[in-house]
């Protein structure tokens, strides 16, 4: 079976875990009542960003297996979905960083006792990007859900190896 490399599989699932944790812990990290969940949210968003900084160059270096045979529209949908997911892995954490800076009472934000450098909250792009964080985050979660649903459809309906070649354990090819 044509599988992804073990490091890419690990980075894929760590990114998925960080996304789920970020989504579950979302809230206003500047409010005292949300202090712990805010710390977790920011840390998991930072993890998504750092993981993609490692994952993308590694993906380009080691390559990925060829897609399973299928209709051209499926190939294109998979290609564009992956491009959008990678773009959102960068955009959502950056938008979160900008949103932190744009909070009226935020001069600094400390993550586990370490102050994060924040961009100038007066800059137009900081306000615009920060305002887009929730929308981009929702789009990321929906697109990741669509990605997971497509993988499950490939596995259970099309009975091909699309899902199994990204699983951390070996699984026989279906079909």
Query: Long-range contacts made by residues 120-126, C-beta under 8 angstroms, separation at least 24?
Result: 125/98, 126/98, 126/101, 126/102
Q: What are the structural domains of the chain? A: 6-166 (1.20.950)
Query: What tens-digit pLDDT sequence spans the chain (175 residues)?
Result: 488 999 999 999 999 999 999 999 987 666 666 778 888 999 999 999 999 999 999 999 999 998 888 899 999 999 999 999 999 999 999 999 999 887 755 666 778 888 888 888 889 999 999 999 999 999 999 999 999 999 999 999 999 999 999 999 865 554 4
């Amino acid at each position: 079976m044509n599988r992804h490399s073990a490091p890419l599989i690990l980075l894929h699932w760590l990114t998925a875990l960080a996304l789920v944790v970020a989504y579950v812990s979302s809230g206003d990290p500047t409010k005292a009542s949300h202090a712990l969940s805010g710390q977790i949210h920011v840390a998991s968003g930072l993890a998504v960003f750092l993981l993609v900084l490692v994952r993308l160059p590694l993906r380009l270096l080691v390559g990925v297996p060829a897609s399973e045979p299928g209709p051209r529209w499926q190939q294109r949908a998979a290609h564009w979905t992956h491009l959008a997911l990678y773009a959102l892995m960068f955009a959502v954490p950056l938008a979160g960083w900008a949103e932190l800076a744009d909070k009226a009472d935020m001069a600094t934000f400390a993550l586990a006792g370490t102050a994060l450098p924040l961009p100038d909250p007066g800059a137009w792009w900081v306000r615009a990007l920060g305002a887009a964080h929730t929308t981009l985050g929702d789009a990321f979660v929906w697109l990741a859900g669509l990605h997971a649903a497509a993988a499950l459809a490939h596995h259970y309906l099309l009975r091909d190896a699309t899902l199994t070649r990204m699983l951390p354990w070996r699984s026989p090819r279906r079909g």
